[in-house]
Structure 1
Amino acid sequence: MAKAKTTKKKNAAQGEQKHIRTFWKLFGGLIVLVLLVFLLASWGVFGSLPDETSLENPEKNLATQIIGSDGVTLGTFYKQNRTPVKYEDLPDHLVNSLIATEDVRFYDHSGIDAKGTVRAIVFLGSKGGASTISQQLAKLFFTEQVSRNKLERGIQKIKEWIIATRLERRYTKEEIITMYFNEYDFGNQAVGIQSASKIYFSKEPIELTTTEAATLVGMFKNSSLYNPLRNPVGVKNRRNVVLAQMAKYDFITNEVKDSLQALDLNLRYSPQGHNEGIATYFREYARAFMADWVQENPKSDGTKYNIYTDGLKIYTTIDSKMQEYAEEAMDMHMANLQKEFDAQNEKNKTAPFRDITPEETNKIMDAAIQRSDRWRVMKKQGKSEKEIRESFKKERKMSIFSWRGDIDTVMTPLDSIRYYKGILQASLMSMNPQTGEVKAWVGGIDYKHFKYDMVKTGQRQIGSTFKPFVYATAIDQMHMSPCDTLPDTPYTIPQGKYGLLKPWTPKNSGAISGGHLTLRAALAQSINTITARLIDRVGPQPVIDLVAKMEVDTEDIPAVPSIALGTPDVTLYEMVGAYSTFANQGVYIRPTLIQRIEDKNGTVLYQNVPHTRDVISDETAYVTVSLMEGVTQSGSGSRLRHTWRGGDPVYKKVVTGYPYGFKNPIAGKTGTTQNNSDGWFMGMVPNLATGVWVGGEDRATHFGSTAYGQGATMALPIWAIYMKKCYEDESLNISNSGFVKPDKISIATNCAQWKEENSGGEIPDEFDL
């Protein structure tokens, strides 16, 4: 019996030892199998892995940045909107929030967190996963993220582990963190932390607050689910989890955590799509500039730069603040002006057109139909003209522009064309006359809906803004003074002179006074008869030659006296450049927008060289500026000097709430074309020249009266609002002093003093200063 028990115990012990040996054999075999699987994976049996070179220099598309003069990124050209940053550009709380949330033992492991892995296996992931930052980077960098079957997903995980350990051998911890932030797709075209910071919070990564950093780090869990635009509540909750993790691991105190968790998201969403964001028209100009530049400037190997993938940096002259102020000024005024225009058109049977026949209306509409994308696409598809025209009469869903935001509606394409014909357009350009640097460029009211750039592409009749060139020619050639007088009486240039086919007798916009006016008063009041006398004295060709030296395209400007009243079509870009010559003491400097171009490594590929030309003497320039100062003191621009409280229904109704009250020296000129089709204002202070144009797409779209259609009502308010904003921002250093006076000047500009000195102290009543 005892022997049997002993044998039984012996057999049990042997069986237990056998099971233990079997277990260790299986365990050892499993270890060998795992090692073999890892070895086979590293050899590429389960699919190729990146080699050391590709790890060190991963292939990726880098966005080209458009950078303002103040260092702010205005926009990007991209296939993937990714702009890499350096580790030193990441604030500590951004890095700490990532460590606390994603991988608290990041600095202690070599790519695989053994403790976290065991925990994940034991608890089947219920107490958190084991994926380290290095593994997540490996997943982002080199492996597909599409869900597959369990076997494939297991093999992919093994690859991630292998790549993670290679990353840890190849790079420092700081480099790994930086690459992870640079590679993650935060959604809404924000690839990488640079784009995410700009798009969601309108700032650079280094400027992110703790709560903003926690918001972005929270998106690492799933940027599609935690999208701030679609799921703000979920994003806030996730942000608070990140803040709690930071408190848990002593990156912030519990008191700080509690206060930060109570804050709202405070997004400042600034989309960087090509139709959205700041300086959209300028960015399109930059794209066209780069398209030409890459053709003429190949890489050292002969291939062409790609502005969408090569990570170039385009440094521009645009000041982001001034650009914002310009766009805000345009929006503020144009929304009010459009409201008034629509109200006046309610009783206009031919709206949005005026003063044209039905035949002319049909011609305008037909031309618009044939210029449309619909016409072009259907023509390319082989549709007949009848089919195409019929399609314009069928209602369909569409989104149309309004100053209250886009409107989803149903209308025919033909009705949408007529609707858009009734939307007033505007443009603004602002530059430093001494450097040529363009500080703000607004080519239209909304790039998404109106892509035609009215700064450099659109030519419009310039009206009385051309008159200063006539006066400058008279001053330069005949040494005339602002204090010289001419009669405000009817004036006719006879047939045959300058090739005229019939006599030319211009009329004033108001009544002819019959008295004598100084040149200062004549320009201030924009007197046509006196301008006609001046161009007859100097001749049209010298005036044309003058503006040609200022790089105004004169090919289509005829040498006839009517140009004195602004009949030529000129771009706003040309006008601002030409006017700047007067503020720059007679030296023309070509407007500059692109300062330099660098490649992704910082090598300078292009450096702008200023183009200048002496056009007129500093004395002539100063006297012309003095004449234009009179426009803002007592002429059509004098409303800049007042703080209006009523008494002017036109001013009050159109720009309510925008009192100006400028006290500093301002030189300027308003312009209004025939039928009030175009309103202009050109305004200058010593270090900033700014031009504004307002009008309809077609000249038949205009106000019914000069009270509303003049440049002083349509364009001047935009200039005034913009300049008020610029002056309120003292960091911009916009001048409020007088214009530079030459050391030697022989032409009198103080007419009261001049007349007193030349008339024995008495000034005749009819002498209008």
Structure 2
Amino acid sequence: MTPKKKKTTAPDFSKYIRWFWILFSIGVLSVVGVFLMASWGAFGEMPDHTVLENPRTNLATEIISSDGQTLGKFYFNDNRTPVGYNELPQHLVEALIATEDARFHDHSGIDARGTLRAVVKLGSGGGASTISQQLAKQLFHGEGSKNTIGRILQKVKEWIIATRLERQYTKEEIITQYCNIYDFLNNADGIRSAARIYFGKEPKELSVKESAMLVGMFKNSSLFNPRRRAELTRTRRNVVLSQMEKYGYITVQVKDSLQKTDLDLNYTPESHREGLATYFRGYLDGFMKDWIKENPKPDGTKWNLYNDGLKIYTTIDSRMQQYAEDAVQQHMPRLQAEFFHQNTPIRNPTAPFLDLTRGAIDTLMRTSMKQSERWRHMKYDLKKSDEEIKASFHKPVEMKVFEWKDGVASEIDTIMKPWDSMRYYKSFLRTGMMSMDPQTGHVKAWVGGINYRHFQYDMVKQGKRQIGSTFKPLVYTAAIDQLHYSPCDVFPDTPYCIEKLKHGNMEEWCPRNSGGEDDYGGTRTLQNALANSVNTITARLIDKVGPQPVVDLAKKLGIESDIPPVPSIALGTPDLSVYEMVGAYATFANKGVYTKPVMVTTIEDKNGTVLYQFQPETRDVLSAETAYVTVKLLEGVTEGGSGTRLRHSGAISPEYKEIITGYPYKFDNPIAGKTGTTQNQSDGWFMGMVPNLVTGVWVGAEDRAAHFASITYGQGASMALPIWGLYMKRCYNDETLNISKEEFEEPEELSIIVDCSKMTKEDIIDDNLNDAIPEELEF
């Protein structure tokens, strides 16, 4: 009998399979649960639909010139101005995709292949973050966690946000946001700032190798910083170029040639103290803060000048602004060199001051010390005693100080007592310059000083100085308006006194001509008298019209500063600003209509909604005839008076050669102007006009006691006029600006004779003369 075989049973794996599926399900459910909990905000706040639609990013306020250039920005930490996708060069987009996310157009926020590769290789084969994930990280939760669990949860949040971003935005919008949000260091927030700061270009103008360098910085801008690690950044750029070649965006030949080149940076920092129109931007900062106070948002909150991405459209023309700054930078070092030459300790022991005793100088310095930013900071911020502060001014410290080096503004590192640095800075001549279209009131150029980093006080609108003979045209205008005088009317050039009441007593004011006792005799036409700044004839005119009407006229011409109604104002004793003087002179060029200077035309929010639009402010001040006659008087200054050097080329006399040589003006078009020189040569002025541009220039030191010893260099024709000449030369050379070379327009019915060559003896008002009319008159 055959024994029965035992029945063998197959191993029962069912329980293992069951456990496998249980564990697998738990794992899947756990992963799903983690993602769900993360999406619900269990592991930290997650952006909802509204936030995704309007992510919070700090946007710099942009200042835009009338010719469409960015003059500068207002920002606190983020110098960010967004651009659209169409403003990005195609090769930059290609470089970004080739380097950061080759399958960008094939996934929906998460690259499965890249993620799997990263998991298998434990991150050693490269990260798996897509551009969408990197944008999610930049927008919503910044730097990663330091522990493993934290990093995993952060990656989960990145995945969720990335997929939401993909649903919310197009691929182009995602790339655009990523380029706009990234911090490229050195105040280069976003691709536009990066292109401008590292290469001095708009993004659209970037070359392939420049785009590759910036894309290379996306990996780690701190590591690949072109200013600190140029060679490392170049190596990274070449990796990007290789990636572009790998994915067919450039050829091997292009890659090889570009990899051999240098970075070729054109570093152009964008800060509040550097760049174009720094003084104007300083003024604009105050203007905007006042506007913000008076114009809240629709919800009642205040606009943030530094974060809300406003756009301020200004009247400044970037080309004319550059020409103005270049003119200052060309003239001032030469003038300063002569000032230093005349004020060496050997020549002047109290340099840079003249006419002051040592005690008076000490008083001046102590006053300046208490007005300094150092005093304010130590007293109110650090709560130091006055004695501690005074002692600190006499302790040497490391500092950077300004200097003109080889005709260029620069700074040097040195060790100096703050007291000595104060005196050092007082030896520098400053300047203020403003240029304006008289018809529209649009201010085209604004230069408030020689270097904003070291001299921040604005001498266009803040600073007010004695204006000297540039005030005389207002006296002449009042006489023309009230008494119908002609430029050809003749007055005796003799000493003249005016009685005035002072402290209850009558006393005489007897101004002298600049040449002293020998500078009298004969007669002069009004045109000749103004051209040569004859004080006695100006005194006669203000005596005839009275000081108060002259003051009233000045107020109508936009001068807001206090002007006392006394005869001496005729010679320019009031302290006025360049801003006020340009506005006043522009009225003459604009046929008697005063137009208030305009600096801002429009303000928009980041979405382009107009928040402010300027309304011109004008008023009729003079008849067109009176304004035109004044202009013809001022033309005489440049044709036969102190402004005639504008008609010459090179040096006109040996004593002027250091200032004039190298300034070949040779203007042959009509120019109306007036120089001004104050007592002791403390202030030099020039006001110059052509039909569609009025420009004023002032030059002087911080303190009136610091000045040239003689009028050779200390007059307005040597200190200020060259800046005007250099500026206008550049403006005329730029034909796109259309600066007028035409005659000033003559009114249709002109009843006052302005062409003295057509004047006869019978036309002369002999009441103006003390003696008989001479047989022959020279006009």
TM-score band, normalised by shorter chain: over 0.9
Alpha-carbon distance in 2 for matches of 1:667, 1:265: 50
Bigger Cα displacement from structure 2, 33-42 vs 725-734: 33-42
Matching of residues 339-354 of structure 1 within 5 Å: 339-346=337-344, 347-354=347-354
Alpha-carbon distance in 1 for matches of 2:238, 2:140: 31
2:315 touches 2:601 (CA, 8 Å); kept in 1?
yes
1:539 and 2:534 aligned: no
1:42 and 2:47 aligned: no
What secondary structure, in the 3-state scheme, does the structure 2 residue paired with 1:534 have? helix
AA aligned to 1:467 is K
1:677 and 2:678 aligned: no
1:723 and 2:766 aligned: no
1:310 corresponds to: 308
Cα distance change, pair 82–372 in 1 and its aligned pair in 2 (3 A)? same
From 184, 197, 213, the equivalent of 1:199 is: 197
1:389 corresponds to: 390
1:336 touches 1:655 (CA, 8 Å); kept in 2?
no
1:518 touches 1:767 (CA, 8 Å); kept in 2?
no
1:441 and 2:439 aligned: no
**Percent identity over paired residues:** 63
1:611 and 2:617 aligned: yes
What secondary structure, in the 3-state scheme, does the structure 1 residue paired with 2:250 have? coil
1:768 and 2:778 aligned: yes
Cα distance change, pair 768–244 in 1 and its aligned pair in 2 (3 A)? farther
1:632 touches 1:641 (CA, 8 Å); kept in 2?
yes
Alpha-carbon distance in 2 for matches of 1:656, 1:768: 32
Cα distance change, pair 721–135 in 1 and its aligned pair in 2 (3 A)? same
Alpha-carbon distance in 2 for matches of 1:750, 1:506: 29
Matching of residues 146-225 of structure 1 within 5 Å: 146=144, 148-225=146-223
Return the offset for 1:185: 0.8
Return the offset for 1:498: 13
1:694 and 2:695 aligned: no
Alpha-carbon distance in 1 for matches of 2:256, 2:541: 75
Alpha-carbon distance in 2 for matches of 1:376, 1:496: 43
Cα distance change, pair 757–201 in 1 and its aligned pair in 2 (3 A)? farther
From 511, 515, 523, the equivalent of 1:516 is: 523
What secondary structure, in the 3-state scheme, does the structure 1 residue paired with 2:105 have? coil
Bigger Cα displacement from structure 2, 652-661 vs 438-447: 652-661
Return the offset for 1:495: 5.0
Bigger Cα displacement from structure 2, 569-578 vs 49-58: 49-58
Cα distance change, pair 96–716 in 1 and its aligned pair in 2 (3 A)? same
Alpha-carbon distance in 2 for matches of 1:727, 1:240: 45
Count of equivalent residues: 755
Alpha-carbon distance in 1 for matches of 2:19, 2:412: 74
From 534, 537, 550, the equivalent of 2:557 is: 550
1:70 and 2:67 aligned: yes
Question: Any idea what the Cα deviations from partners look like across 1:221-274, whole Å, max 9, x if unmatched?
Answer: 221222232233333333333333333323233444444445544433332322
Bigger Cα displacement from structure 2, 205-214 vs 346-355: 205-214
From 211, 226, 229, the equivalent of 2:227 is: 229
2:141 corresponds to: 143
2:99 touches 2:240 (CA, 8 Å); kept in 1?
yes
AA aligned to 1:393 is H
1:275 and 2:285 aligned: no
Question: Any idea what the Cα deviations from partners look like across 1:732-757, whole Å, max 9, x if unmatched?
Answer: 22112221121221222222233599
2:656 touches 2:712 (CA, 8 Å); kept in 1?
no
Alpha-carbon distance in 2 for matches of 1:264, 1:725: 34
Cα distance change, pair 258–329 in 1 and its aligned pair in 2 (3 A)? farther
Cα distance change, pair 207–651 in 1 and its aligned pair in 2 (3 A)? farther
Alpha-carbon distance in 1 for matches of 2:656, 2:251: 57
Question: Any idea what the Cα deviations from partners look like across 1:451-509, whole Å, max 9, x if unmatched?
Answer: 21111111100001011111111221122111222222222223559998422222222
1:594 corresponds to: 600
Gaps (5+ residues) in structure 1? 1-6
2:715 corresponds to: 710
Matching of residues 475-490 of structure 1 within 5 Å: 475-490=480-495
Q: TM-score, normalised by structure 1?
A: 0.92
2:569 corresponds to: 563
1:747 and 2:752 aligned: yes
Alpha-carbon distance in 2 for matches of 1:682, 1:432: 14
Alpha-carbon distance in 2 for matches of 1:147, 1:648: 75
1:638 and 2:644 aligned: yes
Alpha-carbon distance in 1 for matches of 2:550, 2:505: 17
2:770 corresponds to: none
Return the offset for 1:437: 0.5
1:399 touches 1:407 (CA, 8 Å); kept in 2?
yes
Alpha-carbon distance in 2 for matches of 1:83, 1:696: 39
Bigger Cα displacement from structure 2, 64-73 vs 248-257: 248-257
1:186 touches 1:192 (CA, 8 Å); kept in 2?
yes
1:499 touches 1:560 (CA, 8 Å); kept in 2?
no
Bigger Cα displacement from structure 2, 576-585 vs 57-66: 57-66
What secondary structure, in the 3-state scheme, does the structure 2 residue paired with 1:403 have? strand
Alpha-carbon distance in 1 for matches of 2:291, 2:469: 37
2:767 corresponds to: none
2:469 touches 2:676 (CA, 8 Å); kept in 1?
yes
Question: Any idea what the Cα deviations from partners look like across 1:355-391, whole Å, max 9, x if unmatched?
Answer: 1122221111010111122322333344332222222
Return the offset for 1:704: 0.9
2:53 corresponds to: 56
2:323 touches 2:727 (CA, 8 Å); kept in 1?
yes
AA aligned to 1:364 is L
Return the offset for 1:91: 2.6
Alpha-carbon distance in 2 for matches of 1:707, 1:237: 59
1:4 corresponds to: none
Question: Any idea what the Cα deviations from partners look like across 1:153-203, whole Å, max 9, x if unmatched?
Answer: 232122212211111112111111111111111111221122223333333
Matching of residues 374-413 of structure 1 within 5 Å: 374-380=374-380, 381-404=382-405, 405-413=410-418
Q: TM-score, normalised by structure 2?
A: 0.91
2:144 touches 2:151 (CA, 8 Å); kept in 1?
no
1:91 touches 1:207 (CA, 8 Å); kept in 2?
yes
Return the offset for 1:648: 3.0
From 112, 115, 125, the equivalent of 1:114 is: 112
2:769 corresponds to: none
Return the offset for 1:585: 0.7
Alpha-carbon distance in 1 for matches of 2:373, 2:256: 55
Return the offset for 1:109: 0.9
Alpha-carbon distance in 1 for matches of 2:673, 2:143: 61
AA aligned to 1:399 is K
Return the offset for 1:151: 2.9
Cα distance change, pair 382–31 in 1 and its aligned pair in 2 (3 A)? closer
1:583 touches 1:621 (CA, 8 Å); kept in 2?
yes
1:733 corresponds to: 738
2:511 touches 2:539 (CA, 8 Å); kept in 1?
yes
Question: Any idea what the Cα deviations from partners look like across 1:398-452, whole Å, max 9, x if unmatched?
Answer: 1112223121111111111111111111111111000000111111222222221
1:369 corresponds to: 369
Gaps (5+ residues) in structure 2? 1-5, 765-772
1:628 touches 1:668 (CA, 8 Å); kept in 2?
yes
AA aligned to 2:56 is E
2:145 touches 2:154 (CA, 8 Å); kept in 1?
no
Cα distance change, pair 375–252 in 1 and its aligned pair in 2 (3 A)? same
1:249 corresponds to: 247
Cα distance change, pair 650–202 in 1 and its aligned pair in 2 (3 A)? farther
Cα distance change, pair 619–256 in 1 and its aligned pair in 2 (3 A)? farther
AA aligned to 1:753 is K
Alpha-carbon distance in 2 for matches of 1:334, 1:183: 42
Cα distance change, pair 495–54 in 1 and its aligned pair in 2 (3 A)? closer
Alpha-carbon distance in 2 for matches of 1:478, 1:238: 79
What secondary structure, in the 3-state scheme, does the structure 2 residue paired with 1:503 have? strand
Cα distance change, pair 231–654 in 1 and its aligned pair in 2 (3 A)? farther
